Structure 1
Amino acid sequence: MRLDRIFALVIIVICLLAALGNWLGGRTPRAETAMSPGGTGSTANVALIEIYGTISDRPTTPFGSVDNSNSNAIIKSIRQARKDGVKAFLLHINSPGGTAAASQAIYNELMRVRQETPIQIVASFGDVAASGGYYVASAAHHIVANPATTTGSIGVIIRTQNLSPLLNKIGVETGNIKSGQYKDILSPFRDLSTGEQTILQGIVSESYQQFLNAIVAGRNISLEQLKPLADGRIFTGAQAQQVKLVDSLGNTHDALIKAAQLAKISGEPSVRNYSSPGWQDSLGIFFSTSLEQFLPSYRELQMARWQKIPLALWE
C-alpha cells in the first residue's frame, strides 16, 4: 500500500474517533488551571472563561472548537460553571470583537448570571478587548485592563464595496434575477441606492443603540457620559480607566485577586479553566495549524467567510 494511502487512512480514522468523542462527550470543563496554587477541580470557586479571537456563532468542526471565540461554546461554559456553583467568573478577553448577535448573546448570558446569582464577574483584558470584546466585558462587575491594552472601538459597521468600475474596465458584465427590490442589497457589483442606504443605516443605528444600552446597563456610566466616547475611537487601558470604561489597571493575576475580593473568597482562590480544550478540540487545533502550514491560503479562505456577514462589532 502506498504511503499516501496509509496516511489518508490514518487521518480518516482520527477524524471518526474525534467526531465520536465530540458527540459523546460534548464540551466539558477541564482540569484546574495552574493559576491556582491549591484546591481541586471539584472544589474550584473561580471559573476562568477565555475569549480569544473574533467572536462568532459559527458551528464547531467534527474535532470541536479550535479557538475560544465560539459564542455557543462560551455560553455553554458559563452555564456549566454556574451549575457547578462557583463564586466568581474570571473572563480573560483578547478579542477585536465579532458579529453583533454573537457578542450580544454572550453579554446576555453573563447579565443573566449577574442578575440571578451572587456570582461575581471580573473581566481581564489582554492585548485587545475592543468593540464586541468590550460589549461582552461590559456585563462584568469589574474590568481590569493592562495599561497598554487596546480597547474601546464602541460602534457598529457594515462594509460596502463597488467593483463595477474595475469590471467595466475588463469587460465583465453582471446581473441579477431577484424576487424583490432589496434582495441583492450589499451587492459588490453596483452602487447602493438611496433606499438601501436608508435600510442599512437604520440597522446600524438600531444595533448601535443596543450596544450603548448594554454598556449603560452593565457599567456605572450614563448614556450622556458614554456617547462622546462611543464614536469608534480606541483607547489604551490607561486612557480607558480615566474615562471610566475600565475600573482598574493590572494583569490577569490582579483580576483574579479582585474576583476573590468581590466574591469574599477566604484564602487562596481555586481556579478551574472552563475553556481549556479537550482532546477533540486539541485535534482541531492541530489540524487547523497543519492546514495553515501546508495550505498558505487556508487562513485567507477562513477570513473571507466573514465578508458574508455584514453586521459586525469589530474592525
Structure 2
Amino acid sequence: MEEQSAQEKSVEKRPESIQQHQKPCPPPPPRSRRWLMRGLVVLLLISVVFNLGFFAWYQEYFTIGGGPAEQFETGDQFAKEKIAIISITGTIMPPFTERILRSIKRAHEDDQVRGILLEIDSPGGLVADSHQIYHRLVELRKTKPIVVYMKRMAASGGYYVAMGAGEEGVIFAEPTTWTGSLGVIIPRFDLSGLAEKVGVVSDPLKTGEFKDALNPFRNLTDRERAIWDHILDESYQRFLNVITDNRKDLDYDQVKKLATGQIYPATDAKQNGLIDEIGYQEDALARLQEIMGLSKVCVIRYSHPKSLADVLLGSAEASQIENRKQALLDSTVPRAMYFASWMGELPGWQ
C-alpha cells in the first residue's frame, strides 16, 4: 500500500515538473497588426504594377509615334548625320514583320538618317512578309543608300529582303555566313499510311473539290498537285525575277541555275555572284560611309520598346501561344514560305 501511494504521488508530481520546463506560447498578434501586414503587401504589389506601367509609358513617350527607339551603336555620338541599322533577325513573320516595317518607316522619315545598314540574321519566313519588307526597302533606297550585312544566316526569305538594297547596294557576308536556299516551300505531312493503320478516315464536309487539298490524312490528287505546283511556281518565279532585277552580274538563267534550294557558304556565294564582299559589320559601315561621302557619322540601331503587356507577361504574343486550340487550327493553314527548312513554321513555337 505504501509503494502504491508513493507511485501515485510521483505521477501527480510529474506534470508539475514538465510544466515548469515548458515555455508559455506567445500570444497571437493582434488583429490590427495582421491587417497592417496585409495592407503593406497590397501596397507593395500596387507599387510594382505602377512602376512597370510608368516604365512602359516612359519608353513609349520618348519614341516618335510609338515607333522604334534609337540606340547609339558606334561612330561619332554628336554627329548630325546618322546611319541607321535595321535588323532582321529570326523567322520573318508576324509580329516581327510589323516592327521591321516601322523601322523602315522611321528611317525614311528621319532627314538626319543618310544611309541604311540592313543587318540580316534570318533563315527566311513567309512569302508575303518577305515581299512586304522588300517592297518598303525599294522605296527607301530611292532616297538613301542601303548596304547589307549578313551575319550567321541570310537564306531564302533572308536573301529575298537583301535584294532591297538594289543593284547599287553592296552585300557583305561574314566568312562563316550561310546564304542561298533560293526557293519556295509549303510544308506538308502525309499521314495517310498511319491513318489507314489506326483506322482513321478523313471525311470533311466541303463546298468544293479543292477545299481540303492539303489534308494530311489522304494523298494529293493529280489535279490538286497541279494547282499547288502552280502556286509554288508563281512565288518561285517572283523570287528569281527579284534576284535578277537586283544583282547586276546575274541574269535569269544564272539565277535559276543557283535556285535549287542549296545553301551556299560565303566563299561560294561570292564566287556565284550572290554577295559582293566577305567582311564584318565595321567593313560594311566603312563602305556605306564611303558611299555617303561623310567623314563623321553617328551609327544608331532601332529597337522596339516593350509595352506594359510585354513587361508583365514576357511578351504580348506569349499569351496567344497558350491558346493551343488556335495553334492547332493554325497548323492546318497552308503557308508558302521562302524558308531554309524542310519543316516550316510550327504554330505555337514562334
Return the TM-score normalized by structure 2: 0.73
CA distance in 1, matches of 2:119, 2:44: 38
2:279 matched to which residue of 1? 250
2:121 matched to which residue of 1? 94
CA distance in 1, matches of 2:193, 2:45: 46
1:164 matched to which residue of 2? 192
CA distance in 2, matches of 1:39, 1:22: 22
Where 2:307 maps in the other structure, the secondary structure is: helix
In the alignment, structure 1 residue 283 sits paired with structure 2 residue 310 = yes
Q: What amino acid is aligned across from residue 80 of structure 1 in structure 2?
A: R
Q: What amino acid is aligned across from residue 34 of structure 1 in structure 2?
A: E
In the superposition, relative to structure 1, how do residues 111 and 17 fare at CA in structure 2: closer, same or farther (>3 Å)?
same
In the alignment, structure 1 residue 54 sits paired with structure 2 residue 91 = yes
In the superposition, relative to structure 1, how do residues 30 and 161 fare at CA in structure 2: closer, same or farther (>3 Å)?
same
Where 1:174 maps in the other structure, the secondary structure is: coil
Larger Rg: 2
Q: What amino acid is aligned across from residue 120 of structure 2 in structure 1?
A: I
Contact 2:201 2:217 in 1 (8 A): no
Displacement of 1:284 in angstroms is 5.6
CA distance in 2, matches of 1:197, 1:311: 14
1:209 matched to which residue of 2? 237
1:71 matched to which residue of 2? 97
CA distance in 1, matches of 2:325, 2:52: 21
Deviates more, 1:119-128 or 1:157-166: 157-166
Contact 1:38 1:268 in 2 (8 A): no
Q: Structure 1 vs Structure 2: percent identity of aligned residues?
A: 34
In the superposition, relative to structure 1, how do residues 191 and 19 fare at CA in structure 2: closer, same or farther (>3 Å)?
farther
CA distance in 2, matches of 1:31, 1:284: 19
In the alignment, structure 1 residue 83 sits paired with structure 2 residue 109 = yes
Contact 1:155 1:208 in 2 (8 A): yes
Q: What amino acid is aligned across from residue 51 of structure 1 in structure 2?
A: I
The alignment covers a number of residue pairs equal to: 291
2:335 matched to which residue of 1? 310
Displacement of 1:252 in angstroms is 1.1
Q: What amino acid is aligned across from residue 139 of structure 1 in structure 2?
A: G
Contact 1:32 1:273 in 2 (8 A): yes
In the alignment, structure 1 residue 180 sits paired with structure 2 residue 208 = yes
CA distance in 2, matches of 1:20, 1:260: 35
Displacement of 1:286 in angstroms is 7.2
Q: What amino acid is aligned across from residue 45 of structure 1 in structure 2?
A: K
Displacement of 1:39 in angstroms is 2.2
Q: 1:232 aligns with which of 261, 277, 291?
A: 261
Superimposed CA distance per residue, residues 213-257 of structure 1 (whole angstroms, 9 cap, x where no aligned partner)? 111112212112211111111111111011110000111111111
The answer for unaligned runs of 5 or more in structure 2 is 1-37, 342-350
Q: 2:78 aligns with which of 30, 39, 56?
A: 39
CA distance in 2, matches of 1:149, 1:286: 34
1:67 matched to which residue of 2? none
Contact 1:94 1:125 in 2 (8 A): yes
Contact 2:56 2:306 in 1 (8 A): no
In the superposition, relative to structure 1, how do residues 92 and 247 fare at CA in structure 2: closer, same or farther (>3 Å)?
same
1:64 matched to which residue of 2? none
In the TM superposition, 1:110-129 aligns within 5 A as 110-114=137-141, 116-117=142-143, 119-129=144-154
Where 1:126 maps in the other structure, the secondary structure is: strand
CA distance in 2, matches of 1:245, 1:142: 11
Greater RCO between the two (CA within 8 Å, min separation 6)? 1
In the superposition, relative to structure 1, how do residues 18 and 105 fare at CA in structure 2: closer, same or farther (>3 Å)?
farther
In the superposition, relative to structure 1, how do residues 170 and 23 fare at CA in structure 2: closer, same or farther (>3 Å)?
farther
**Superposition RMSD in Å:** 3.5
Contact 1:47 1:89 in 2 (8 A): yes
CA distance in 2, matches of 1:205, 1:130: 19
Return the TM-score normalized by structure 1: 0.80
Where 1:143 maps in the other structure, the secondary structure is: strand
CA distance in 2, matches of 1:175, 1:7: 57
Deviates more, 1:158-167 or 1:83-92: 158-167
Q: What amino acid is aligned across from residue 46 of structure 1 in structure 2?
A: I
In the superposition, relative to structure 1, how do residues 235 and 286 fare at CA in structure 2: closer, same or farther (>3 Å)?
farther
1:139 matched to which residue of 2? 164
Q: What amino acid is aligned across from residue 77 of structure 2 in structure 1?
A: G
Contact 1:167 1:173 in 2 (8 A): yes
In the superposition, relative to structure 1, how do residues 168 and 127 fare at CA in structure 2: closer, same or farther (>3 Å)?
same
Contact 1:21 1:280 in 2 (8 A): no
CA distance in 2, matches of 1:193, 1:33: 56
